[in-house]
Amino acid sequence: MERNWSRRQMLGALSALGAGSAVFGRAVATLAAEESPVTVETIRQASWIAGMQFTDDELELMAKGVNETLEAFDALRAIRLDNGIAPALRFVPPGDVPEAPSPAARRAQPIETAPPPRPGSDDELAFMPLTELSALIRTRAISSVELTRLYLERLRDLDPRLHCVITLTEALALEQAARTDRELSRGIYRGPLHGIPWGAKDLLSVPGYPTTWGAFPYRGQVLPTKATVVSRLEHAGAVLVAKLSLGALAWGDVWFGGTTCNPWNLGQGSSGSSAGSAAAAAAGLVGFAIGSETWGSIVSPCTRCGATGLRPTFGRVSRFGAMALSWSMDKLGPIARSVEDCALVFDAIHGADGLDPTASDRPFHWPARKDVRALRVGFVKSLFEEDRGANAQAAEGAEQSESADALREWQRFDNETLYVLERLGIELVPIELPDRYPVDALSFILTAEASTAFDELTRSSDDDLLLRQVENAWPNVFRQGQLIPAVEYIRANRIRTLVIEELERTIEGLDAYVAPSFGGSNLLMTNLTGHPAVVLPNGFRSVDGTPTSITFTGRLNGESELLALAHAYQQATDFHLQRPELSFPDES
């Protein structure tokens, strides 16, 4: 047996030891650094132990990402970890999860309960916030059936332009709406969502209807389970009118039916992955929608479409019946036309259910009990001061080709957000995000978990059926994930524990902080740490009239104060009241 191998032979052999080997993680990176980057042939050898075979084209796509992952390993290995630091993972036996609280215990109510006058046109009615629609239904100024038919008509007529609907749930919607009207006639009122039509991101299972995950391989999939979020909204009396588009397997805005469009600019995608949820809410096609976020999938499409979204604390909303992408990062949350709309929906869906072991019960109060002027609010000083025209770095889903002038205009909107908060009597405390640890290097946690969730798709080669077959798309990333050593994944989660602790220390004493939606590492960091965020419009670009956004981030389980702050800002501005000019086919 030949033992006198060259470094390149050692590199190939160590790669072939396999993706779960600690030896692989250390030795391959060391040898690769001393020699040349990992090559297509190196990856071919490494894939053998995982029982994978990739084509030459697939290997070429993988090479850059694998080398970047090795650099991430190096960055994380430079951090000394005490033996007592555990990974940022939580495992709870199902029997230890408390039963869900009684829905009757949910007490959130709109701040203003007096019904507005019924608007003079269906178009104005369609764009009313949930709070006003609720008052009209409660007082029977409009029936749920009437409102449901209006939204179904708009969904049918405008979807050929927006491509935001995967499945209309018309029969179910009309049945639920009719039940609402019968209940109201008997004096039964379930709360502010009673009779309100809504749309579900099509990663939520609804028996009797396809749950496609936006991906061609699953387009005929019908699941027998009902997602907890769907059950809770049904109990609250909400009316499901549509299953809305998402970028295939929750990335981007491209699904098997095309690209979901931005209602403000039909030549532009709506971003993703909650593409249809944000587009439908912004276009007045539903009263509200449910989206999900793992890394920007509520923040990004809400930014693009001018909607308002809440990404709750990790574990506040059960994910039972939702497609799993990353078990330690996935979060479900509402997308609507106002912050208060999001608060009312959140009240209906949060809490443990005994089915998702990460879901827990925490208090939530709406209206919030704390005066907004008493809130301690931070702002990330350096991110408001940076010259974005010279230092344009966009996160997932954000525009990559913005001009310097457009970026500086967005910066001006962000700074004006601070002025509005100050005029409200809120004292702003300058802070800086922790930078002790390389947050960007932790992103392969998502790659590893997503690759595991869709391992069978990769091994069967059905990933070839996904529309996007480029470097920055799931098929390529899933293949790269096969080469992440288990040791490196666990190390990253231990460092993630330190990031959580560091961020908590940074915002100690604050109720919330404000930051540009795509500034620095904030978006990735807070998705890794599980902190809640509200994203809402704060301006419109002069170049094309499309929206910009700002993000408020709260303490863990601090949704009450976070939403109160965002609501106060929104009440002092009118960006959320603007609506895109969409005409029906016979009006164009």
Distances (CA, A) of 240 to 14, 148, 230: 53, 9, 8
Distances (CA, A) of 345 to 178, 192, 289, 337: 21, 9, 9, 12
- Residues with a catalytic annotation lie at 201, 273, 297
Task: Determine which helix (DSSP H) or strand (DSSP E) holds 232, and give its type and residue range.
Answer: helix 228-235
Closest CA to 15 of 47, 58, 51, 62: 47
Q: Tokens representing 3?
A: 């033992």
How far apart, in whole angstroms, are the C-alpha atoms of residue 38 and residue 277? 40
Task: Determine which helix (DSSP H) or strand (DSSP E) holds 311, and give its type and residue range.
Answer: strand 308-311
Closest CA to 68 of 34, 38, 26: 38
Three-state secondary structure along 347-411? HHHEECCCCCCCCCCCCCCCCCCCCHHHCCEEEEHHHHHCCCCCCCCCCCCCCCCCCHHHHHHHH
How far apart, in whole angstroms, are the C-alpha atoms of residue 106 and residue 94? 24
User: Which stretches of 19-81 are DSSP H helices?
Assistant: 22-23, 29-34, 40-49, 56-77
Q: Residues with Cβ < 8 Å from 432, sequence gap 6 or more? A: 380, 381, 382, 506
Q: What phi and psi values does residue 244 have, to the nearest 5 degrees?
A: -100, 160
